[in-house]
Chain A
Amino acid sequence: MGEDFDWHRAARADEMEEGEPKLVAAGKFQIALCKVAGTCYAIDDICTHEYASLCDGVVEGDSIECPLHQAKFHIPTGKVMTPPATEDLKTYPVKVENGEVLVGLPKE
């Protein structure tokens, strides 16, 4: 045991589509699950600039753009790519088991 994460069932692997982020609500977390080149990544769904859901934005390649002010983030790392955001997004570990996509949420 000794794991640092609670693994949350976020989606079925076969329902995830490239370019179509899935909003995952789990406890106090609101996460955008995105599939890029066959791999799923989990990032915070709320833009670090202002309150907007990135899942309402547009995914292009490995970036996601906020629908409000067009800040772009790198999905695999959460890094800010374009202003007005200046802070990176948090990322969460993802694993696929038995056809389920699991997101690792930090334990309290």
Chain B
Amino acid sequence: MASDPNFVIIGAGQAGGWAAATLRAEGFAGRVVIIGAESYPPHERPPLSKGVLAGDAGIEKTFLRPSAFYGEKNIELKLGASVEGIDCKNQRLRLAGGEAVPYDSLLLATGARVRRLPVPGSDLAGVHYLRTIDDMLAIRPRLEPGCRVAVVGGGYIGLEVAATARKKGCDVTVLEMQDVAMPRVVAPEIGKFYVDVHRSRGVDVRLGVRVVRLEGKERVERVVASGETTIDADLVVIGVGILADADLAATAGLAVENGIVVDEFTRTSDPHIFAAGDVANAWNPALGRRVRLESWQNAQNQAIAAAKTMAGKPVPYGEIPWFWSDQYDLNLQMVGMPETWDALIVRGAMGQGPFTAFYMKDGVVVGANAVNNARDIRFARKWIAEKRRVDADKLADAAIPLKQTDAS
């Protein structure tokens, strides 16, 4: 007797939630199960370092759909559940507690986990990481006026936390190992601009310092860093990156290298298993290279592509990567992921209102950052995809509309 197939999704983040909704939207009528390690329904993470951390909105703001949606669409949620292993040969999962879950197709949307700071004292009370809703809930009540917050890591999680903590009236110090902020994601000029922004808002930004240890009796009391730097702190938030959560896949024998290796159809080395989101190291046809993206866009759209492939309508996924970060009243959008460039063309006056920086290589636009200037991103994305040669002088002249440059 042929029965409806079982599709199982591990991970209840942005990727897992969108994959399940897409399976139903594509008319898949079999069983759909989402297994989530956290106790919350499928949710996105960006607000956890911004509005929700500030207390402007509740955690429900992060939920992708109202809870009733899953019942209506007959999507089973197994939350607070942990998967102990994947038996690829027999196509079944083993959950903690012993339950076996069979699958015909399996999507691994396990995401990533925080990179730990390997220094003495990092296990003291008052030392936090920020990845999950529970992480956020542990930090939020402590962001009170006068609280001394030390943020380790000047990437976007660190800087967003710093901005939110300032907004709540905390005294904030940021410690970054490199000489600029957001060194992995933006050009040094943009990183420097953000350092200036934070300093002008009263954040003590320390660059080129390495945290050596955290000290305190019962709770953390200070951060000790290189160069005899000592920062007194009531709260330490560490944001030094994330690592793909690919242990299950590796143990099951799937190809894993900086995440789960998939093709542009999100297929792993096992014909019944797919992967999408932060955990997937995917061939990206638009970039012509393999990338593992830690982004909201990728989590959503790669998962949608995965669901279509699982439902028998394979579509390749390969967008120009796009990220954003909100700090204070500044919306930063980043498109492209240039590894190298030979010129950075700034359109508008950096530090005086909206501006856009175009990353150029051999006269071709390979990336762009827009600050409160999201409309420019659309053109940049198009030109990056087209590998378009664009006149740098025209880009630099804010009086010449991009639309006109696009048409020329």
Task: Using CB atoms and an 8 Å cutoff, list the residues of chain A in contact with chain B.
Answer: 56-58, 65, 67-70, 83-84, 86
Contact = CB atoms under 8 A, between A and B. Distances in A.
A68 B300 contact: no
A56 B301 CA distance: 23
Contact of B375 (A58, A69, A70, A86): A58
A83 B42 CA distance: 15
A68 B304 contact: no
B283 interface: no
Contact of B65 (A65, A68, A86): A86
Interface of B: 18, 44, 65, 296-297, 300-301, 304, 322, 324, 331, 374-375, 377-378
Given A68-B324, A83-B18, A86-B65, A56 B375 contact: yes
Given A57-B374, A68-B331, 12 more contacts: A57-B375, A65-B378, A67-B375, A67-B377, A68-B324, A69-B296, A70-B297, A70-B322, A83-B18, A83-B301, A84-B44, A84-B300
Contacts of B300: 83-84
B44 to A, nearest CB: 8
A67 B65 contact: no
Contacts, number: 23
Contacts of A67: 374-375, 377
B304 A83 contact: yes
A92 B270 CA distance: 51
Contacts of B374: 56-57, 67-68
Q: Which label, helix, strand, loop or mixed, suits the secondary structure of the B interface?
A: helix
Contacts of A69: 296
Nearest to A68: B374
Contacts of B65: 86
Contacts of B375: 56-58, 67
A69 to B, nearest CB: 8
A69 B375 CA distance: 12
12 contacts: A56-B375, A58-B375, A58-B378, A67-B375, A67-B377, A68-B324, A83-B18, A83-B301, A83-B304, A84-B44, A84-B300, A86-B65
Nearest to A52: B374
Nearest to B374: A67
Contacts of B331: 68
A58 B378 CA distance: 7
Contacts of B296: 69
A56 to B, nearest CB: 6
A83 B18 CA distance: 9
A84 B295 CA distance: 14
Contacts of A70: 297, 322
B242 to A, nearest CB: 21
Contacts of B378: 58, 65
A45 to B, nearest CB: 15
A57 B333 CA distance: 13
A79 to B, nearest CB: 14
B119 to A, nearest CB: 36
Max chain B C-beta neighbours (<10 A), residue from A56, A57, A69: A69
A58 B375 CA distance: 7
A21 to B, nearest CB: 11
Nearest to A84: B300
A67 B297 CA distance: 13
B97 to A, nearest CB: 33
Contacts of A56: 374-375
A56 B44 CA distance: 24
A67 B354 CA distance: 14
Contacts of B297: 70
A8 B301 CA distance: 39
Contacts of B18: 83
B378 to A, nearest CB: 5
A67 B55 CA distance: 24
Contacts of A83: 18, 300-301, 304
What are the 9 A-B residue pairs with the smallest beta carbon separation, nearest first? Answer: A67-B374, A58-B378, A83-B300, A56-B375, A67-B375, A84-B300, A56-B374, A58-B375, A68-B374
Contacts of B301: 83
B303 to A, nearest CB: 10
B376 to A, nearest CB: 10
A60 to B, nearest CB: 8
